[in-house]
Chain A
Amino acid sequence: MGSLKVNLCGIELDNPVIPASGTFGYGYEFGELYDINVLGTFSFKGTTKDKRFGNPTPRIAECYMGMINAVGLQNPGVEKVISEELPKMRKYFNKKVMANVSGFSVDDYAYTCEKLDEIDDIGWLEVNVSCPNVHGGGMSFGTSPEAAAEVTKAVKSVTTKPVIIKLSPNVTDIVSIAKACEAAGADGISLINTLLGMRIDLRRKAPVIANKMGGFSGPAIFPVAVRMVYQVSHAVDIPVVGMGGVSSAEDVIEMMMAGATAVEVGAANLIDPYACRDIIADLPRVMEKYGIENLSDIIGAVK
């Protein structure tokens, strides 16, 4: 049998499958169900400087082949993540974990990343630039190359860990933003975050979600994700982590052929808590079917 191993920013993964942030908590909910050490790694719940409750409920809406969420980055804040959540995670997971970081100012990002940089268990910092920039007029950091680069620089200056910038698809030119992050020192790019969406309850003549709009995810967005992973991975020289609607071993391989070095699985975990375990177990069968010897050989196979 060939190898499932890939190398993500200098750290070897046993396989490319990574549960995406916000769909896997801090791992222990899933660690009670199966041995989560079968995963390549996982990206833990988006962490901010201060504790956040997030948005009012309802936060979730059903869509054709997907869902909308407006959780709003609920998390206990970086100090509690380090003192309470990560020790609980450690009982179940013994590999390097990916930290997911959000912020509402450049200083927020730097503060949180500096704290997380001290934690040996953390292998990568995945920096979500989809949040609104409170000091920059509320526009998301991820919608302008300059703002995304500014966050990248600030984070790089406080850590020696690989920094992966997680991009929003809700932009006109994702390639220019990815290139700006690369030029600012990013070690990798991950994409796509959710697509901005909305559902309306016909009975109440009102949005289903209290926040009105939210992030659309699930299999419905997979083709958009493949397209953006293809565009970005062919424009930058740093590794790309692909995500967006990935639900099967075939989807993982498709993402990798588009140019992804590793692949995150999000919404699928919420529908089937065993999704990542089953995808990993199915990879050798699909590799054999398509004549793939080593998974790392197919990264960016589509020119």
Chain B
Amino acid sequence: MKQSFFEIIENTPLTDSVMKMRLRGDTSEITRPGTFVNIKLEGLYLRRPISVCDVEGDTLTIIYKVVGHGTEQMRDMKSGWLDVLTGLGNGYDTSKAGERVLLLGGGVGVPPLYMLAKRLLGEGKKVSVVLGFNTKSEVFYENEFAALGADVTVTTVDGSHGTKGFVTTAMAEADYDYFYTCGPEPMLKAIYKTAETSGQFSFEERMGCGFGACMGCSCKTVTGYKRICKDGPVLEKEEILWEA
């Protein structure tokens, strides 16, 4: 973990409510895909945890959905500096992947899969990506994943773009020997039921500190209590215990 200041170099909309922000600073602590950063914002007490979409040299890309006071404030920033904690969370472990890897993202669960796809492709894996959205106007990063060399399928619930249905619709027909996913909990549960192989799930929870001190985001797993922020956000399929 590292605390440092990042300069905003881009902040542009991808859809009506999803923004892409590029920041320049010390990215040395961001080593694995699937980790997150925790951002201090003016006038708000708790930091805002946001997943890492990509890192290129000293440039960090995050993609966030505008849902509350914090992300509204971020949306309106044109330039300036942000106080950021980097290198948080365990991230995805790519050493467990097979040769034919399936990545499944839902909504703002899509961004962390971008750096993961890049990493897996760099390791010589065959990467298929399923991106799930509600409707065509919410779709983002379809072309970016394709440009990396991944095989991309988009699903929309209303069928307005790509395959009609959920990411699990595409998963049921996919050829894979390992998978990674990030998205809303109902989607993760559906994937858990559909999956025929091992895989890794990235979870979300309201956090206090984001670095393991406050026990604000604990969950129960097969291997004991875990903190989503420090021992997660990525859990392996075999250790997940769904709360009733």
Q: CB within 8 Å of B: which residues of A?
A: 22-25, 29-30, 32-33, 45, 53-54, 56-67, 69, 71, 74, 208, 218-219, 267, 269-274
**Binding-face segment, B107-115, B172-180, B189-197, B200-208:** B200-208
The listed residue (B44, B207, B213, B215) touching A269 by CB distance below 8 A is: B213
**B209 contacts across to A, CB distance below 8 A:** 23, 269-271, 273
**Binding-face segment, B120-128, B148-156, B216-224:** B216-224
23 chain-A/chain-B pairs, Cβ below 8 angstroms: A23-B213, A54-B218, A57-B205, A57-B206, A57-B216, A57-B218, A57-B219, A58-B205, A60-B207, A60-B208, A60-B216, A62-B46, A62-B69, A71-B215, A71-B216, A74-B215, A74-B218, A218-B45, A267-B45, A270-B46, A271-B40, A272-B3, A274-B3
**B213 contacts across to A, CB distance below 8 A:** 23-25, 29-30, 269-270, 273
**B212 contacts across to A, CB distance below 8 A:** 25, 29
In the complex formed, the residue of B with least CB distance to A59 is B216
Asked if A60 and B45 make an inter-chain contact with CB atoms under 8 angstroms apart, the answer reads no
Q: Is the interface of B mostly helix, strand, loop or mixed?
A: loop
Q: How far is the CA of A194 from the CA of B82 in the complex (A)?
A: 29
Q: Using A54-B218, A271-B209, A272-B3 as known contacts, list a sample of 11 further A-B pairs with CB atoms less than 8 Å apart, ordered by residue number in A.
A: A23-B213, A25-B212, A53-B218, A57-B205, A57-B218, A59-B208, A60-B208, A60-B216, A62-B46, A267-B45, A274-B3
Max count, chain B CB within 10 A of own CB: residue among A29, A54, A269, A270: A270
**B216 contacts across to A, CB distance below 8 A:** 57, 59-60, 69, 71
Q: Is the interface of A mostly helix, strand, loop or mixed?
A: loop
Asked if B3 and A71 make an inter-chain contact with CB atoms under 8 angstroms apart, the answer reads no
Q: How far is the CB of B85 from chain A (nearest CB, A)?
A: 7
How many interface residues does chain B have, given as a range? Answer: 20 to 34
Max count, chain A CB within 10 A of own CB: residue among B211, B217, B220, B230: B211
**A66 contacts across to B, CB distance below 8 A:** 45
